Amino acid sequence: MFNCQPTEVLAESTEKEITSLKIGSKPKGMCVIAIVAYAIFSTVLLTNIVLLVKSAYTGVAKPMEFYFHYVDTPVTVAGLQTKYVMNTTRWFRFLTQEEAYANSFYKPIGLPKIVVDFYLYPNLAGPVTFNGMWQVFIWANGSAYKPTGFTLDFKEITVGGVVLWDSGSVNPTVTSSVGAYIDVPVYNYNLSAPLSHTFNADTTLLVEVEVNAGSSADTRIWYDSPLYPSKVILPAKDYARPISIKTYAVDNSETTLFHYNWSESQRKVIVRTNVTDPFGGYDIYRVNMTILDPTGNAVVDNTEMIRVSDGQWHTNYAHVFEANWSYPTTAELGNYTVTVSVIDNNGYYHYNETGSFAPFMEEETQIFTIGVIVYYDPSFLITDDANDPLPNAQVYVTWKNGTTDTLPRYTSADGFINFTQVPAGNYGFTILWKDVIVQQTTVHVDSNGPYTIKTRVYQLTVQVFGNNGVPIHGAYVIVYTQSGVGYGLDTTDATGKALFKLPSGTYRIDAHYTSDYWLTVVKTSATEQVSVTASTSKNIILADFPPAIWSTTGFWLLISSVVAVAAAAAFILYMTYKRAPVQKRA
């Protein structure tokens, strides 16, 4: 809140005090003197602080003016409420001599000094550095010609009222037509001191001015009037400027390449610029765009850009502005230069006074090209992690205009998808495998390709062995997710291997094998788990195959045959042996 010592005296200041200050008898002559003095000091200040030319951002300090104002409704700043603020506008409240007098700050005889506080409002939208000569211009007078002491104090304060930085009491250099004296006429005083500080976003600057003419003289401080525009001028190294420029086609895709043989509805260059201002959006007076063709002629000359960003633009730091140019088929082919100029409130007021925006204008440039449109028939190879083609993958394409396929495309048996007659530009790809997104990427197309898109699909090689270490040919291998969804079925080859392409995850592997072994039907299976985060392999052992040979039908048939043969042989031998003696006796 405004701080005037004492506060009660300020509240009691009324029209009846006019005679005691003796400033109403010759108001016109006094105003002329005051305005001439103000003009002289302002001219000297703008000449001596810094001279800049219109150019791209260099970080050189500029003399930014912040005027002291009164608001009817208190604002919350620095942890308190106040009606006394400062900003870059000249929206003065007290337009006449009488209004300015009635609302000036007043110290009666008997009190030694008057202290006034003004807060930067809105709060800083972004960080800013003030480095150089800090100057406070106040308009003041008294009831007598008195030597006067002037003191300044600057503070950085958070929204909650925490003081982050305090310059301490500063004894400034005082410049005026009467030196460091207060007199009956209203004079302008330049109170200057060299300081440097970087302020944070969402903080405010408190400027406290103390005028001590002693207790034997009345004192008034005048402000918020075109007749008495008290203010502070700070050498700012941060200010409104364009930080980026981008060009877009009519389908809202970012591009720097436009074509003369596009249709009429397509022949439009959309220019968007991002403008930042540490003092908030209210400080941005105008953003202009100029476009020069390849021969240097202006096809768009100083056109005003429109703010398109939403939100609390009045206090925001960053803002998007836009302007368009619809070009004819006869447009020159080649490179075009876009120049965006940003003018803040200080630049606007400076132009009204001098006819020049400098140094309060910042510029940025961007190049785009108008040429002949070329169409391509690009092909895209979708591969797994091992660079092998990924057939039958689902592919959703995001086109240059930002639209996305509602139905998927499917890769061919050799892993390709193909486009026909599409212009150069960026195309987005969302690739699914087994209903899992395995890649999202953008490909810039400027040829027929092929363009390779590698996915996060990994190869899992399962090898099935018998309990004797021999690979099993013809085993069925099924891969399941943790939730029991089957992700693949394959039959092992002669080396006992089955190959699967899987997204990252944890899986259950079942191996099933049925075979005739020694005239016995053998059915066996085994289960393993595997975590897949890269291409890998997994071995499965069928513990029940082959079974013990004596448990098979073929084994016992063989044994039976052997026994039968052996028995027959024994019988034959026996019979042979038995006949032999009979023949001998005969």
The CATH code of the domain that includes 194 is 2.60.120
**Taking residues 558-578, what's their average pLDDT?**
82
Domain contains 302? yes
In CATH, what number is assigned to the domain containing residue 445?
A: 2.60.40.1120
Same domain, 133 and 25: yes
In the predicted structure, residue 46 carries a pLDDT above the cut 50: no
Same domain, 466 and 494: yes
Same domain, 78 and 193: yes
Torsion of the alpha carbons at 357, 359, 360 and 366, rounded to the nearest 10: 90
Q: What is the DSSP-derived secondary structure letter of residue 282? A: G
In CATH, what number is assigned to the domain containing residue 290?
A: 2.60.40.3880
Domain contains 553? no
Same domain, 71 and 215: yes
Last-in-domain residue among 371, 398, 419: 371
Last-in-domain residue among 371, 406, 422: 371
pTM over the 0.85 mark? no
Same domain, 183 and 95: yes
C-alpha to C-alpha distance for 395 and 515, rounded to whole angstroms: 41
**Taking residues 223-250, what's their average pLDDT?**
97
What is the per-residue pLDDT for 554?
63
Domain tally for the chain? 4
What is the per-residue pLDDT for 24?
29
Same domain, 77 and 211: yes
Contacts of 21 (CB under 8 A, 6+ apart): 141, 142, 143, 184, 218, 220
C-alpha to C-alpha distance for 201 and 204, rounded to whole angstroms: 8
Same domain, 328 and 440: no
pLDDT tens string 129-174? 999 999 999 999 999 999 999 999 999 999 999 999 999 999 999 9
Secondary structure element (H or E) that encloses residue 444, with its range: strand 436-445
The parent domain of residue 298 ranges over: 241-371
**Cross-strand pairs, 117:** 208
Last-in-domain residue among 371, 387, 417: 371
52's tokens: 């800049």
Same domain, 101 and 21: yes
In the predicted structure, residue 54 carries a pLDDT above the cut 80: no
What is the per-residue pLDDT for 11?
30
**Taking residues 90-111, what's their average pLDDT?**
96
Domain contains 574? no
Same domain, 277 and 418: no
- The overall average pLDDT reported for the chain is 87
For the CA atoms of the chain, what is the radius of gyration? 45
